[in-house]
């Protein structure tokens, strides 16, 4: 293995921001109804064009950026708290629990506002993720692979419960809307909750050093005077809320919270203060690329972003798994 000095990538942050901004322009420009960004900037655009722009295109691209950033940072926090590289919102029961929460609301309070759904989904996600961490803590399996294995089983159980009730009450269509992320329904007035995810991402950054210390484990954390329980709870609240908000507004994106933080960890390590900006930018870039690919491959049709993310994500995940294998447990 080659040994890189830790700091060598640091200047990359400016470059990656530029790349994300370029991706944003591409994402805004393409679509079933073609818009000329240049015309818009020059002010030559038709009135109709600027309407499409303001109510649909810009919200959509913004939503992609916000979800990409926050989901990726969520994964990073979870990996530090679980002290396991395979933890993420989708592999640790958070997403299935949040979807179960939304389904419960759809059944019991059909007219609930998005905000109410979000609150209930957050509570479900909190309980689900905490339960997962507890199962992990008391499980006899000590292998790093215990996380995805236990997580997939746990998520499978929650998912089956959700499917059962969705099937009984004819809500399968809606269920797939939460479990399969899709930005085509994002419109002005329907995505603003995502700013809460963005705010919580900033909170995660402000508490970054605490998560680094917690990532050393309970003994080290206690030695350094950190209240380990409190930081775990803070992390869980951030992760559960971001996940619930994202699932309520656009649905779940598979692999995003898993692979982006892992790639960042391999490149620059797990100092959370340093890693959060890269994870955020990386998450946004990954999701923008998935979105652009999904709209270009079968024009004028759109392949759901979660399908593209699943394909790209699973391939990257396999590469990471194979890399990890020789190091063993």
Partner 1 sequence: MIEVDNVTKRYGSTTVVDSVSLTIAKGGMTAIVGPNGAGKSTLCSMIGRLIPMDEGSIKVDRFDVTATKGERLARRISILSQENHVTARLSVEDLVLLGRYPYTHGRTTVEDREHLEATIDFMELGPLRHRFLDQLSGGQRQRAFVAMVLCQDTDYILLDEPLNSLDMKHAVAMMKLLRRVCDEQQKTIVYVVHDVNIASWYSDRVVALRDGRIVHDGNPSSFMQPEVMESIFEVDVVIREVKGKPFAVYYG
Q: Is 49 in the site for partner 1 (CB under 8 A)?
A: no
Q: Is 219 in the site for partner 1 (CB under 8 A)?
A: yes
Q: Which three-class secondary structure string do you get for the chain?
A: CCCCCHHHHCCHHHHHHHHHHHHHHHHHHCCCCCCCHHHHHHCCCCHHHHHHHHHHHHHHHHHHHHHHHHHHHHHHHHHHHHCCCCCCCCCCCHHHHHHHHHHHHHHHCCCCCHHHHHHHHHHHHHHHHHHHHHHHHHCCCCCCCHHHHHHHHHHHHHHHHHHHHHHHCCCHHHHHHHHCCCCCCCCCCCCCCHHHHHHHHHHHHHCHHHHHHHCCCHHHHHHCCCCHHHHHHHHHHHHHHHHHHHHHHCCCCCCHHHHHHHHHHHHHCCCHHHHHHHHHHHHHHHHHHHHHHHHHCCCCCCCCHHHHHHHHHHHHHHHHHHHHHHHCC
Least distance in Å: CB of 270 to partner 1? 4
Q: Which among 178, 186, 196 is positioned nearest to 74, based on CA atoms?
A: 196
Report the sign of the C-alpha dihedral through residues 76, 82, 84, 89, in that order. Answer: negative
Q: Is 213 in the site for partner 1 (CB under 8 A)?
A: yes
Q: Is 226 in the site for partner 1 (CB under 8 A)?
A: yes
Q: Is 80 in the site for partner 1 (CB under 8 A)?
A: yes
Least distance in Å: CB of 231 to partner 1? 11
Cβ nearer to partner 1, comparing 165 with 205: 205
Taking the mean position of all CA atoms in its chain, how far away is CA 329?
26
Least distance in Å: CB of 152 to partner 1? 20
Least distance in Å: CB of 205 to partner 1? 11
Q: Is 10 in the site for partner 1 (CB under 8 A)?
A: no
Cβ nearer to partner 1, comparing 46 with 218: 218
Q: Is 147 in the site for partner 1 (CB under 8 A)?
A: no
Question: What torsion, rounded to 10 degrees, do the Cα atoms 71, 153, 101, 246 define?
Answer: 10
Q: Is 12 in the site for partner 1 (CB under 8 A)?
A: no
Least distance in Å: CB of 182 to partner 1? 34
Interacting residue with partner 1 among 36, 143, 222, 299 (CB under 8 A): 222
Cβ nearer to partner 1, comparing 178 with 211: 211
Q: Is 225 in the site for partner 1 (CB under 8 A)?
A: yes
Cβ nearer to partner 1, comparing 95 with 320: 320
Q: Is 140 in the site for partner 1 (CB under 8 A)?
A: no
- Site string (257-276) toward partner 1, x via CB under 8 A: --------xx--xxx-x---
- Where does this chain touch partner 1 (CB under 8 A) — which range of 195-203, 223-231, 246-254, 315-323? 223-231
Q: Is 327 in the site for partner 1 (CB under 8 A)?
A: yes
- Where does this chain touch partner 1 (CB under 8 A) — which range of 4-12, 19-27, 65-73, 133-141? 4-12
Q: Is 244 in the site for partner 1 (CB under 8 A)?
A: no
Q: Is 173 in the site for partner 1 (CB under 8 A)?
A: no
């Amino acid at each position: 293995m080659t040994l890189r000095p830790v700091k060598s990538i640091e200047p990359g942050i400016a470059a990656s921001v530029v790349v994300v901004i370029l991706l944003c322009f591409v994402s805004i420009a393409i679509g079933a109804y073609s818009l000329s960004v240049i015309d818009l900037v020059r002010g030559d655009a038709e009135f109709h064009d600027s309407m499409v722009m303001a109510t649909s295109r810009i919200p959509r691209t913004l939503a992609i950026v916000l979800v990409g950033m926050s989901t990726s940072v969520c994964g990073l926090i979870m990996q530090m708290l679980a002290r396991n590289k395979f933890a993420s919102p989708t592999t640790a029961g958070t997403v299935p629990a949040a979807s179960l929460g939304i389904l419960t609301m759809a059944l019991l309070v059909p007219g609930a506002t998005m905000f109410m759904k979000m609150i209930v989904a957050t509570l479900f996600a909190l309980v689900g993720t905490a339960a997962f961490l507890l199962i992990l803590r008391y499980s006899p399996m000590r292998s790093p692979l215990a996380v995805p294995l236990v997580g997939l089983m746990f998520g499978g159980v929650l998912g089956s419960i959700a499917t059962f009730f969705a099937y009984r009450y004819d809500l399968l269509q809606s269920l797939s809307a939460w479990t399969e992320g899709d930005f085509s329904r994002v419109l002005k007035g329907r995505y603003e909750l995502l700013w809460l995810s963005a705010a919580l991402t900033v909170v995660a950054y402000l508490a970054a050093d605490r998560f680094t210390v917690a990532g050393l484990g309970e003994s080290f954390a206690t030695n350094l005077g950190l209240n380990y329980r409190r930081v775990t709870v803070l992390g869980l609240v951030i992760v559960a809320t971001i996940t619930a908000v994202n699932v309520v507004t656009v649905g779940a994106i598979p692999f995003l919270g898993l692979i982006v933080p892992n790639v960042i960890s391999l490149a620059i390590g797990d100092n959370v203060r340093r890693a959060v900006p890269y994870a955020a930018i990386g998450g946004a870039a990954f999701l923008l690329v998935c979105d652009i690919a999904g709209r270009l491959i079968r024009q004028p049709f759109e392949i759901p972003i979660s399908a593209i993310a699943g394909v790209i994500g699973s391939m990257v995940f396999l590469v990471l798994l194979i890399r990890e294998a020789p190091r063993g447990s």
